[in-house]
Each structure stands twice: as C-alpha cells, then as structure tokens.
Amino acid sequence: MKMTHSQWLGLSVLLGLLAFSLFGILFSPYSLSEQNLDAILQAPSASHWLGTDHFGRSMLTRMAHAVGLSFALSLLCMLTSSLVGTAFGVWAVWGGKKVDNILGIVVNILLALPGLVVVLLFAAIAPGSFFVLYLAISLVQWVEYFRVVRAVTQGVIQSPARQSSQMMGFGRWYQFKRHIWPAISPSVFTLAAFGGANAILTMASLGFVYVGIQPPLAELGLMTVELFPYYSDAPWLLAQPLIVIALMVFSFHLLAGKRA
C-alpha cells in the first residue's frame, strides 16, 4: 500500500513534533518545574525560545514534555486497542457462535456507555494516573476495531480462497496472514490513526477539567486551562498548546486518509 501526499504530510508533521519533544527533553537547560518568579510571562527570546509561563518556567521544556506525554499515550492506546480489538474480532468469527455471543454482549454493554463517561469514571477513581488513563481510553477504543474486524472477517472466512487453504491443510495462522490480515489491515490502520487523535483529544479534555494529568507534570490540556487567565497579557503562551493539539490531531487525520 502506497501512502498519499497528504499522509506523508501528516507523518512528517508528527515526526517533526516528536523530534521537537525529544530534543527539548534531552537538551533543554531548564527542568520541567524550575521556576523563576523574576521572569514570568516573558516573550520568546534567546534564553527562552518559547517564552516563560506565569511561574517563570521554560515553555520550551514544558511543551516538549507535554508533546512527549501525548505521543506516549496515543501510541500505547493505538497499539493496545488495535491488538485487543483485532484479536477478539477474529476470535468471534473463528471461535463459534457461543464465543461470538459472549463477546457481542460485552461490546453492547460498552457501547451503551458513552466513552467519555467511562474515561471520566476511571480518571475520578485515580486522578492524575497516566496508567489508569491509558487503560480507560484503550477500553473504550478496542470496541471499534472489534466491530470492523469481525464484519470483514466474516466475509473472508466464507471466501473460496480461504476455504481452499483450509482444505489443503494450512493452519489458522497461515490463513490469517494470507487471507484475513490483508483484508482487515487497511481498516485497522485507519482506525489506529483516528484512535491516536482521539486519545490526544481525550487526555487534553480531561486536563482541561482538572481530572487528567496533574501538576507539576506538563500536559497540553492542563497547560491550556492554566494559561487561559493570561491570554490578554501573553497570548503567545496560550496559543502554543492549542496549536500543538490542532497539529497533532490534524496530522493523525491526514495519516488516516485513503492509501493509493
């Protein structure tokens, strides 16, 4: 599968943001929570390339950590939810009617609950826990993979090519690699890209209402609400996390586009 120009653009922006995060974390002379109350709300300068916040902390350092945190969450959620959803989707078809019915009941229960409510519930149980937030988002997202993979796999299982492989004695792993995975992989990759964007938005939303990642850690949504009271005095500070959130979400959406 070849990537389109828009997908290359999305991937390039994401890699650029990842490089910014890594270099900012590794080479910034300032620590994440280092304060300088004599240098608050400074504009970008040679000493502080992105300025300083209301506590005199380096915005470059904090933005680098926040972007890295968003990438870590999105990639972990994409990997976990895609693996779980794909495995259960294929198992529902191959495991027989009983397995399909049990998994269908579990999925219907999760679909009956709004995803954001589930994430908020987990976040309220363990405020500020990155691990709990990751589990909650993955729990919500795997359902979409399951539904799509199950639907596509049902058609592949009945195909003459797959049945011929079975009659010739090939095992299920070969049948999965040869017939099922080529059919489901485009949908899985598309769902993964959208899932990465949704994970970033979800974490930012929780940070905006103070139930996500807690200070002194830097998180894009939390930084937005912390800097909002100073939008008239230092609008460049509030713009930074908002622009990064928009760029990350937009880039993941570009990455989810159709392949040539």
Q: Residue 127: what pLDDT?
A: 79
Q: Residue 260: what pLDDT?
A: 45
Name the residue among 184, 174, 178, 185 with its Cα closest to residue 154: 184
Q: Count of CB atoms within 10 A of residue 257's CB?
A: 16
Query: In 3-state terms, what secondary structure has residue 30?
Result: coil
Query: In 3-state terms, what secondary structure has residue 52?
Result: strand
d(CA 223, CA 121): 22
What pLDDT band is residue 258 in, cutting at 50, 70 and 90?
A: low
Q: Over range 204-231, report the average pLDDT.
A: 88
Query: Best-predicted range by mean pLDDT among 59-68, 108-117, 167-176?
Result: 59-68
Residues 6+ apart with CB under 8 A from 23: 64
Q: Over range 204-222, report the average pLDDT.
A: 87
DSSP 55-69: T--BHHHHHHHHHHH
Q: Residue 223: what pLDDT?
A: 92
**75-95: per-residue pLDDT in tens?**
999 999 999 999 999 999 988
- Show the tokens assigned to 66: 């926040």
* Of 129 and 64, the one with more pLDDT: 64
Q: Which residues of 161-182 are buried (b: 16+ CB within 10 A; e: fewer)?
A: ebeebeeeeeeeeebbeebbee
Helix orientation angle between 220-227 and 181-208, rounded to the nearest 10 degrees? 30
**145-171: per-residue pLDDT in tens?**
999 999 999 989 888 888 888 888 888
Q: Over range 165-179, report the average pLDDT.
A: 87
What pLDDT band is residue 1 in, cutting at 50, 70 and 90?
A: low
Percent of the chain at pLDDT above 90? 60
d(CA 214, CA 224): 13
Q: Is the pLDDT of residue 2 over 80?
A: no
Q: Is the pLDDT of residue 101 over 80?
A: yes
Instruction: Give the predicted TM-score (pTM) of the model.
Output: 0.89
As a whole number, the mean pLDDT across the chain is 90
Q: What are phi and psi of 155, to 5 degrees?
A: -70, -40
Q: Over range 170-195, report the average pLDDT.
A: 91
Q: Residue 131: what pLDDT?
A: 92
Name the residue among 131, 127, 130, 125 with its Cα closest to residue 210: 127
